[in-house]
Amino acid sequence: MRVIVPIQGVVFFRNFISSGALSNIAKESEVIVVAMDPDIQRFELPAGMTFHSGVSPNPQRAQIRFWIQEFVMCGLRHRSKTFQLKLYRLSWKKKYIYPFLAFPLSARWVQKISEFFLGTDLLVDKLVQELKPDWIILPSSCEDSLTADFVKAAKKFGAKSFILVNGWDNLTSKGTLPVFPDKIGVWGPQGANDAFKIHRISRKRIEILGAPQFERYFQSEFSENGQEEVRTMNGIPQDKKVILFAGSFQPFDEITVLRILDKAIESGHLPNAHVLYRPHPWRHWRDHEDNFVSTEYKHVSLDVQVAEIFLQIKKSGKASEAKKVFPDLEYYPKIIQMAECILSPLSTFVLESLLMGKKTLAICYPDGKHFFSADKVSQYEHVQYMETSPGLKFCRDAKDLISMTQELLLPVDADKLHRDINNHLKFVVHSDNIPYAGRLAKVVSNA
């Protein structure tokens, strides 16, 4: 059996290739990683896989799909709170015209008609025809044009298609799939419900697989190793309680938060503590955010793993340079386990911290600089279930930041908290005694 895996960026390579997600399939089948981004080929492939050059996305097709996607999201706005919020980003004309024209039925028909006239991508067709795969496995954020073109090519040439959802919010915030694959792999029951409710994907096509990049969080013996190594790397004194402040991808003024925390530690309101700041490695550009100057802080360190690229981006203003960063997945459990508690504007890092049983504070107040700030993100569809999660608190007012952080530093029964959190999060991220690679291989072999 031949399987091709189009990879469109570093994050997909890390999450689905380096993580070992396809290792079981590679033992039994020929796996060809199609590098849609040539830069991916600088990385080493696991055993049993080979590279093949990909094709560039067609910008005209991508632009047409983007326009149609806006209309469809408006038509399906009642199925996802995130779709409703994202309508604020539309131009004023679209914002007032689309709601009168876009309804579930009309939106879907517009999408179907547009896909009919778009047809298939000739370059993608040529690639699929050349490689003759039995399966096309597509790690995807469910918003790109190439994923749709590969699904259409699979149907045209008799291959089966399998979309693997990359992110927690992909099914609720990125838009709707213009064409359905034979299978779609989701993180957990939450994702399965979103695929069915929002996209109307048949339950028979939906497979609950978990998240390959989170597999190591369920390995308790692994998570306990390397904490001292990370503490030493970042120059944090052994006697200090570590408050890990993880930045978000979405715009938020994180420098102001660091200043508030640093002053609180210096004044004794957060005694014997130290803040480790980890900016999001692929963060969106910020408006009017001050530079990070290490000498300004007495109790704040910048995480060494992402420090160089973060400072480089802040200096150059080129967020695209972040694509060069390839954070090691094994580092994440170490840095989370080292921390006493985690603070973060709502992001996947909040989920990762909870999976490791850590007390976490989600910052959900507006920063006064960005319209689409943390307060808007806290209203996203996929976040609503987290409101009742053990170990997680939502800070909706900057005035409560220090008092709520003080609560997180109080002692708790850590083992019980971890069990309660994991029981709650099974709805979001599936895990059992079979690794992700085994679950994925089983679906492919049985289909």
**pLDDT recorded at residue 421:** 95
Alpha-carbon gap, residue 306 to 313, rounded angstroms: 11
What span, in angstroms and rounded, lies between the C-alpha atoms of 239 and 103? 59
- Under the banding of pLDDT at 50, 70 and 90, the label for residue 224 is low
CA–CA gap between residue 398 and residue 392 (Å, rounded): 17
Q: Distance between CA 32 and CA 296 in Å, rounded?
A: 49
Angle CA 8–164–166, to nearest 5: 65
φ/ψ bin of 207: left (φ > 0), alpha (ψ from -120 to 50), beta (otherwise): beta
Answer left, alpha or beta for residue 325, where phi above 0 means left and psi between -120 and 50 means alpha.
beta
* Helical packing angle, 414-425 and 348-355, nearest 10°: 130
Q: State pLDDT tens for residues 325-378.
A: 666 778 888 899 999 999 999 889 999 999 999 999 999 999 988 888 889 988
DSSP 29: S
List pLDDT tens digits, range 110-128.
Answer: 999 999 999 999 999 999 9
How many percent of the chain have pLDDT more than 70?
95
Q: Domain-by-domain residue ranges, the chain? A: 2-59+108-211+432-446, 220-425
Is it true that 2-59+108-211+432-446 and 220-425 share their CATH fold?
yes
Assigned architecture for domain 2-59+108-211+432-446:
3-Layer(aba) Sandwich (3.40)
Instruction: State the alpha helices, DSSP H only, in 43-144.
Output: 59-75, 81-86, 92-101, 104-118, 122-131
Tens-place pLDDT, residues 364-416: 999 988 888 889 988 999 999 999 999 999 999 999 999 999 999 999 999 99
Q: Which CATH architecture has domain 220-425?
A: 3-Layer(aba) Sandwich (3.40)
pLDDT 10s digits, 281-336: 777 777 777 788 878 899 999 999 888 878 776 666 665 555 556 667 788 888 99
Distance of CA 146 to the CA centre of its chain: 19
